[in-house]
Structure 1
Amino acid sequence: MTRQIRKAAVLGAGVMGAAIAAHLANVGIPVLLLDIVPKEVTPEEAAKGLTLDSPAVRNRFANRGLETAKKAKPAAFYAAEDAQLVQTGNIDDDLGKLAACDWIIEAVVENLQVKQQLFEKVESVAHPDAIVSSNTSGISITDMVKDRSPAFRKRFLGTHFFNPPRYMKLLEIIPGPDTDAEILDFMRGFGERVLGKGVVFAKDTPNFIANRIGTYGLLATLEAMKKHGLGVDEVDAITGPAMGRPKSATFRTLDLVGLDTFVHVAKNVEASVTEAWEKAAFAVPAFIEQMVANRWLGDKTGQGFFKKERSAAGKEILALDLDTLEYRPRKKLDSKSLKAAKNAPTVERKIQTLVYGEDVAAQFAWDVLKKALLYTAQKQGEIADDIVAVDNAMKWGFNWKLGPYETWDAIGVRKSVERMRAEGETIPPFVEELLAAGYESFYQREKGAAPKFYVGKSEFRTVDEAKEKISLARLKEAGKVVFRNTEASLIDMGDGIACLEIHSLKQAVTPGVIEMVYKAADEVEANWEGLVIGAQEDYFCVGANILLMLMEAQQKHWDNLNEAVDQFQKAMMRLKYMNKPVVAAPYGMTLGGGAEICFPADRVQAAAETYMGLVEVGIGLIPGGGGNKEVLIRAVENVPGDVGERLDAFVRKAFENIGTAKVSMSAKEAKKMGLLRLADGISVNGDYQLHDAKQVALGLARAGYQAPQPKRIPVVGEAGAALLKVGVYQMKMSGYISDHDEKVAHHLIRVLTGGNVPRGTLVTEQYLLDLEREAFLSLIGEEKTQARMQHMLTTGKPLRN
């Protein structure tokens, strides 16, 4: 049969259940969100005359869960209207509705008996082909349904999402002993392609893969911290990016997750494992038990390992002294090893530098890493079928840059094992076997090919990767670079499609990038079917290089600045009117010039998590690469019928988006803002984005692509400008904006309304570009704009002057 998930249900509307329902709605799947019926009426409900029979009362928990998801920060929904796809109810009254659902997800309290009783009810009403799964973080999948029918057990599995489900990539799929292989294959594909997840298969063991290793690592960190006499702030300085971990490091992460959640996971493993040493390893320290008793749970209660307090200097973040359980000012760790690690060029070099250093930070990092690596290898066969699943689980579930085995390769397996042996550690047989066979790493990598990974008994197996997951790094290794400079490359993606990759610092727009745009346009027009603009770095593009612009302005090199802006504008026009299709593939930070690079494309294939916006007003400028013009064109396109005076409302929306430096919080929101068109595509899983963009480019080419023809643009002129200026004046009089903000706004208004022309005048794109360039150059010469630029470079925050 051909399976589809057309409707889903989530049972349990707590934080995770409601957030899972929200993400299903994000990808267009209607969801039924059910929870239990309350046992009593609240005073607020009683005051409204409601009783236990009132639907609002009976659905209270589900309604509350949905409202929490709507207000969540970061947002649980891609766009506010996605919440309309979530229907609330309760398990007593609405269980029969499960018959219409293709996937039923249990997310109730972590209690085996409660889950067993619920699945008995679910089996009585669910469609016989419906997939049923549990979002448990650690209860045995097998035990949950041991009393259910064989048919039910065939379509039952664990689907463990990580919080928050919209943003965390990991989805652990845990088969039961009877789960049908066809369902596992389907759920893997559905999880990757539709939900946008990185799927790993985990074995039905306590807390599966990521939480098992991650929790052990956190507890090992607490032990090493005590041994070396470090504080929570000092530990976080070490266990962040220098060790290939997130900026939130250890204790900031625990505050984000919640200490109660951490304790629950740790105790679940402690209760489930049988060996004394492992039970001891997962024992929760007394000070954490005390913090939980004090309700110092982290962000959810306002304090945990860190606490914000107001002081004379403003907000101050205090760190908890674990000996006294009192808060103190944060301390800065002075460590040569840590400084050297932070300056190392790659993640691999950072970790090497840190763990092989000689000061206390290095010894601490080594102790923590050593314990985590040894534990992972010892439990490898128990928790997962292969090392790739383990590495991916830690990268996708805990945001590590490298998984445990990748980390081991980075620091040298043989070198590190020799040190471990010298320190009296027992090396797991899996590792000893690797070294005895003469291998030096868990992965074997050949340029341009998928890596091979160690599976034991002197055998390596190639990583199974979908062909649709295009890797630009691997294409470059395989010699597919057409040409390049230090800041951008043109890469052969195959099938006649080339990819323009920006790889300057933070993918900023630089002269080298502009040069490559021209070269790529000429090359593709002459020899290729189409062009994709994409990258696979941390950002798509953060805009122009502010430092270079500021230096030119401070030295009054106005001709240089004029030439740079003119070249950027012309490069974007070159892309727009190429005789071959252009598809942009933005993701993540797509700001300022990054958005302007997308606008000329025939289509945009955006990642779902695309944060797009024209943010130049934050540094006292307006967009200079054609962004104002393109947003105006999109506004005109959205006006129904004859443009007339109805254009004013659309121009006002464009003005507000640019004038407030608004950034979309998803690709869907970028469409609502008018930065993306309705025809533009969205890839929920970024791993497939370049493939999707390539297919769009091929489709346009094979359909007989014809380059667009320039059109004149209607503007609202002086009359429309006057209306916008009234609003700006009112903002200034109310104290919302400064004199300089007003000046910037007036320049923006002049561009968006067409300058000193009558309403309805048709103007050319070049006319608007000239206005834009003139405004940009005028503003960058202002002292207050330069002060804003300097402040942004120094602090990373906008200055209001």
Structure 2
Amino acid sequence: MNKLIVKKAAVLGAGVMGAQIAAHLANANVPVVLFDLPAKEGDKNGIVKKALDGLKKLDPAPLASKGKLKFIDAANYDEHLPLLAECDLIIEAIAERMDWKNDLYAKIAPHIGADAIVASNTSGLSMNALAQGLPEAIRPRFCGIHFFNPPRYMHLVEIIGTQSTDAGTLDALETWLSSRLGKGVIRALDTPNFVANRIGVFSILAVMHHTQAFGLGFDEVDALTGPKIGRPKSATYRTADVVGLDTLAHVVKTMQDTLPNDPWHAYFTTPAWLQALIGQGALGQKTRCGIFRKQGKEIQVLDLAAQDYRKSAGEIAADVDAILKMRNPADKFAALRACPHPQAQFLWAIFRDIFHYAAVQLESVADNARDLDFAMRWGFGWAQGPFETWQAAGWSDIAQAVAADIAAGKSMSRVALPAWALESGRTGVHTAEGSYSASKNAYVPRSTLPVYQRQLFPERVLGETALNPEKTGETLFENDGVRLWCLPAVDRKIGIISFKSKMHTIGDEVLDGLIAAVRHAETTLDGVVVWHEAPFAVGANLQQVGEACAAGQFDKLEETVEKFQRASQTLKYAQVPTVAAVQGMALGGGCEFVMHAGKRVMALESYVGLVEAGVGLIPAGGGCKEFAVRAAEWAAQSATPGEVFNFLQPVFQTIAMAKVAKSAVEVVEMGFAKPSDTILFNANELLFVAIKEARAMADAGYAPPPMARGIPVAGKNGIATLEMMLVNMKEGGMISAHDYKVAKSAAIALCGGEVETGSLVDEEWLITVERRLFVELLKTPETQARIKHMLETGKPLRN
């Protein structure tokens, strides 16, 4: 397999998907040329430039940083097609019209480089039919590459080969997509709507059918089909609004037109009420009105009986809710089948029909059951795929119940379950040897592509042999808070420190364990990695802090803060390299540990920040100290050594406003990490790369940095300048008196205390200042009220 190197890419079509695919390529530092039709008036690149401007306004942000926009160049088909010759990857993402795509392929074909991969982002058109629109020489390098919306955040990409696609091309593309763009890749068969949309859209149609059959409201159904059954918060009808009702109708129409022999074909139609909404221009979220709408602060839902909107309630019956809380899946499904309440019967019906459809269609839509389940998890946000859910609930019992409903005419189709699903002794489709392939009548193991060797703990489907990070490897040290362990097969001399607390909060047991684990590593290992599955750490254990405040144990709290600072310093000045492997949230004290590690390896989706101001506190695990030290280092490289204030001003705003970086790129931009740190797009590669980084540092003769001293600080003048900002904000009613007090404390800590400007201090002085200010804030009733409110509601209190 030749390695795919993409030095430059092109995206054809600057619509919603095309622009966001270009954005994610730019996130990965791939220069992109984004094409569209020439504008009829003014700048011929006007259509693309408008799309690029729109990228900066979208939420969630498609760009990891607005600065990534510089990697995207605007182009149009009239003037810039020769630029395609420079592109190693060309992704077509125009509207789902075969004739339009063929016209475009004819236009671009003369300009495509000899080795370039050409791919269509079609969501369901035949790839073999599309390939006929390209010259024969290009067809071995042509395939489908179906991203899901939004491309930055949705893990799934479906690759669809044609009869002509070179196998090595698909392997190289899968490798690149997995590692460079961080995607979960499924090899889909060339059938209408491929895997995820085929199963997912059928699931939506089944929900719509049974909503009407059982007389339920749209809000009621969304309450039932969201997190309660392992689906996203947007559930069914809110998801339809987000996707766009016109888009949903188009996908349904594709199934209607291209699947005439599907046994469920009668249901591949847009309900009359949905057609009416589309006809009125109520297309969902993009028109601010669809199945749901917002009137003032009130969320309203369409009521078909009243032919009008009403307040959304979405209540679940108590007996049905009790069933959904059952832990044993087999008991839960048996109870749903037995319960006469319409909500329970509705839930059984939608599960029954998705099990039925997935089993019948497996042979024609996917190579194996694992691919189908992952497609639904990664593309639709389901906690489990349909086969996993079926297997967990007891394969044989569910299969017999589905078959009985088919025989009784209760299911949406009378087609029989395939024989393999009813085999005697079958316990599921996922086993230690692989996942069942209906087309091969065999269990298929996972891909052996080398890129997957970088994923030490990949996602697994239910029933697969799964390595559990908490029980894997060789334990070297352990207490109630952390486990120090290693993976001998990877590197016996690089230790892994994993927090054991819920959400990886940092309490006394974690602090004691971290310090002890690093000391152990210094004497027996070559380096350590701080890693556990996301989140990295959501901050200090507020429960412990709140209880100590209530008991008036402020001396004990000061001791804990001092221990926190010592733990951070231990990471920074360890005699072996320390690498923080970060994914998900690293907030408050978690952020401070990230800042103090010798190096950081971060997943792109890392959300890092010093958020202590939200509970009326300041960073005191060394966070303020570390920024003061970095300010001095920055100033030493500038034209005015000792002038640290210009560095501190944006840092002060970040801390006072509890800003959180929303990507690893922003983590670096906001100063929580360094430009030399490593950013990965696939979080499953995090531990592998972090171990390799620690090994490289050790082999290079790692020595910790010398303890900083002679640190010039901003002192009184810096504090006074920052306080002027606070005075204006307080007088303008933008912050409360306690907000003022908290922010001023942060200013004092960042500026090195109330000393003369330019005074030289050491790190011990700085952490003493931040510790004293932190404890003073803890003693205030306002901060104690904020901590209590956060513990009770999970939300900040503004007092």
TM over 0.5: yes
Q: Structure 2 vs 1, CA of residues 661 and 107 (structure 1 numbering), >3 Å: closer, same or farther?
A: same
**Aligned equivalents of 1:19, 1:350: Cα separation in 2:** 43
Q: Distance in 1 between matches of 2:331 and 2:592?
A: 35
Worse-matched range after superposition: 706-715 or 58-67: 706-715
Match of 1:214 in 2: 200
Cα distance in 1, alignment partners of residues 443 and 584 from structure 2: 35
* Cα displacement (A) at 1:475: 4.3
Bigger Cα displacement from structure 2, 194-203 vs 227-236: 227-236
Q: How does 1:203-602 map to 2 (within 5 A)?
A: 203-275=189-261, 277-310=263-296, 315-336=297-318, 339-340=321-322, 343=325, 355=336, 358=339, 359-424=341-406, 432-433=419-420, 435-436=422-423, 438-445=425-432, 452-456=434-438, 459-464=442-447, 466-471=452-457, 473-478=467-472, 480-485=474-479, 487-494=481-488, 495=491, 496-537=493-534, 539-602=535-598
Which residue identity lines up with residue 177 of structure 2 in the other structure? G
Paired with 1:73 and 1:591, the residues of 2 have a C-alpha distance of: 21
Structure 1 residue 211, shift from structure 2 partner: 0.7
Provide Cα deviations, 1:416-444, integer angstroms capped at 9, x if missing partner: 11221222358988864255252312122
SS of residue matched to 2:122: coil
Deviations 1:69-93 (A, max 9, x none): 1221111111111101111021011
Once the 2 structures are TM-superposed, how far is the Cα of residue 278 of structure 1 from its aligned partner? 2.5
> Aligned partners of 2:325, 2:774: CA distance in 1, in Å?
36
Q: Mind listing any 5+ residue stretches in structure 2 that lack a counterpart?
A: 408-412, 459-466
Aligned residue for 2:462?
none
For the residues of structure 1 that align with 2:589 and 2:294, how far apart are their CA atoms?
Answer: 36
CA distance in 2, matches of 1:272, 1:398: 22
| Secondary structure of the structure 2 residue equivalent to 1:467 | helix
Alpha-carbon distance in 2 for matches of 1:585, 1:360: 48
Match of 1:629 in 2: 625
The equivalences for 1:76-87 within 5 A come to 76-87=62-73
2:594/2:672 contact within 8 Å kept: no
1:427 to 1:5, Cα distance in 2 relative to 1, 3 A: farther
Q: 1:535 to 1:120 in 2, by over 3 A?
A: same
Task: Tell whether the 8 Å contact from 1:509 to 1:593 is kept in structure 2 after alignment.
Answer: yes
Matching of residue 678 in structure 1 with residue 675 in structure 2: yes
**SS of equivalent residue, structure 2 residue 96:** coil
Paired residue for 1:47?
A: none
Q: Aligned pair 1:733/2:700, yes or no?
A: no
Task: Assess, with a 3 A threshold, how the Cα gap between structure 1 residues 459 and 274 changes in structure 2: closer, same or farther.
Answer: same
Q: For 2:332 and 2:649, locate their aligned partners in 1 and report how far apart those are by CA, in whole Å.
A: 51
SS in 1 for 2:137: helix
- The SS at the match of 1:200 is strand
C-alpha displacement of 1:474: 3.0
Contact 1:8 1:29 in 2 (8 A): yes
State whether residues 196 and 376 of structure 2, in contact with CA within 8 Å, keep that contact through their aligned partners in structure 1. Answer: yes
Shift of 1:694: 1.1
Measure how far apart 1:486 and its partner are. Answer: 5.3
CA-to-aligned-CA distance 1:26-69 (integer Å, 9 cap, x gap): 11111111111234x3xxxxxxxx4xxxxx1x212111111111
Aligned equivalents of 1:350 and 1:715: distance in 2?
Answer: 64
Query: Using the alignment, how far apart are the partners of 1:593 and 1:21 within structure 2?
Result: 35
Contact 1:340–1:354 at 8 Å: present in 2 too? Answer: no
Aligned-partner Cα distance in 2 for 1:542–1:350: 35
User: Could you tell me whether the CA contact under 8 Å between 1:172 and 1:202 is conserved in 2?
Assistant: yes
Aligned partners of 2:223 and 2:316 also within 8 Å: no
CA distance in 2, matches of 1:249, 1:462: 32
1:498 & 1:343 partners in 2: Cα distance? 39
1:616-695 superposed matches below 5 A? 616-639=612-635, 640-641=637-638, 644-695=641-692
| Local SS of the residue matching 1:163 | coil
Map Cα deviations across residues 624-643 of structure 1 (whole Å, 9 max, x no partner): 21111123223333332466
1:20 matched to 2:21? The reply is yes
Distance in structure 1 (CA, Å) of the matches to 2:9 and 2:445:
35
Residue 342 of structure 1 deviates from its aligned partner by 6.2
| Cα distance change on mapping 1:635 and 1:260 into 2, 3 Å | farther
SS in 1 for 2:454: coil
Equivalence for 2:167: 181
Contact kept? 1:442, 1:454, Cα under 8 Å: yes
Q: Tell me, yes or no, if the aligned pair for 2:23 and 2:62 is still in contact at 8 Å.
A: yes
Q: SS of the counterpart of 1:586?
A: strand
> Does 1:787 find its partner at 2:777?
no
Letter of the structure 2 residue corresponding to residue 463 of structure 1: R
* CA spacing shift, 1:85–1:264, aligned 2, 3 Å: same
Does the 8 Å CA contact 1:242/1:354 hold for their aligned counterparts? no
Q: Quick one: percent identity of the two aligned structures?
A: 38
Report the Cα distance in structure 2 between the residues aligned to 1:302 and 1:463, rounded to whole angstroms. 43
Q: How far 1:452 sits from its partner (Å)?
A: 2.5
TM-score normalised per structure 2: 0.93
> Residue 403 of structure 2 contacts residue 416 of structure 2 at CA under 8 Å; is this kept in 1?
no
Aligned with 1:16: secondary structure? helix
Which residue pairs with 2:774 in the alignment? 776
User: Relative to structure 1, is the Cα distance of residues 203 and 784 closer, same or farther in structure 2, using a 3 angstrom cutoff?
Assistant: same
Query: What's the TM-score once normalised by structure 1's chain length?
Result: 0.93
Query: Judging changes above 3 Å, is the alpha-carbon distance between structure 1 residues 229 and 388 closer, same or farther for their aligned structure 2 residues?
Result: same
| Residue in structure 2 matched with residue 143 of structure 1 by the alignment | 129
Matched, 1:171 2:157: yes
Q: Any idea what SS the aligned residue of 1:108 has?
A: coil
CA distance in 1, matches of 2:79, 2:321: 61
Whole-Å Cα distance in 2 between the matches of residues 233 and 563 of structure 1?
51
Post-superposition Cα deviations, 1:104-160, rounded to whole Å, max 9, x if no partner, equal 111112110110111111111111211111111111111112143221111111111
What amino acid is the match of 2:589?
G
Q: Distance in 1 between matches of 2:109 and 2:145?
A: 18
In 1, the alpha carbon distance for the partners of 2:235 and 2:177 equals: 28
Alignment deviations for residues 194-238 of structure 1 (CA, whole Å, 9 cap, x no partner): 111111111111111111110000110111222222212221121
Q: Deviations over 1:607-655 (max 9, x none)?
A: 1111111011112111121111123223333332466353111011211
Give the Cα separation in 1 of the matches to 2:687 and 2:375: 23
RMSD after superposition: 2.2
Quote the offset at 1:761 in angstroms: 2.1
Q: Structure 1 residues 505, 477: CA separation in 2 closer, same or farther (over 3 Å shift)?
A: closer
Contact 2:13-2:92 at 8 Å conserved across structures? yes
Conserved? CA contact 1:352–1:410, under 8 Å: no
2:373 partner letter: D
Alignment partners' CA distance in 2, 1:356 and 1:643: 75
For this pair of structures, how many residues does the alignment match? 775
With over 3 angstroms needed to count, the CA separation of the structure-2 counterparts of 1:423 and 1:695, relative to structure 1, is: same
- Measured against aligned partners, the alpha-carbon deviations of 1:567-596 in whole angstroms (never above 9, x if no partner) come to 222222222222111110111221111111
In 2 relative to 1, CA 533–479 (structure 1 residues): closer, same or farther, beyond 3 Å? closer
Deviations 1:358-416 (A, max 9, x none): 34433222211111121111111111111121111111111111112211211111121
Structure 2 counterpart of 1:397, which letter?
A: G
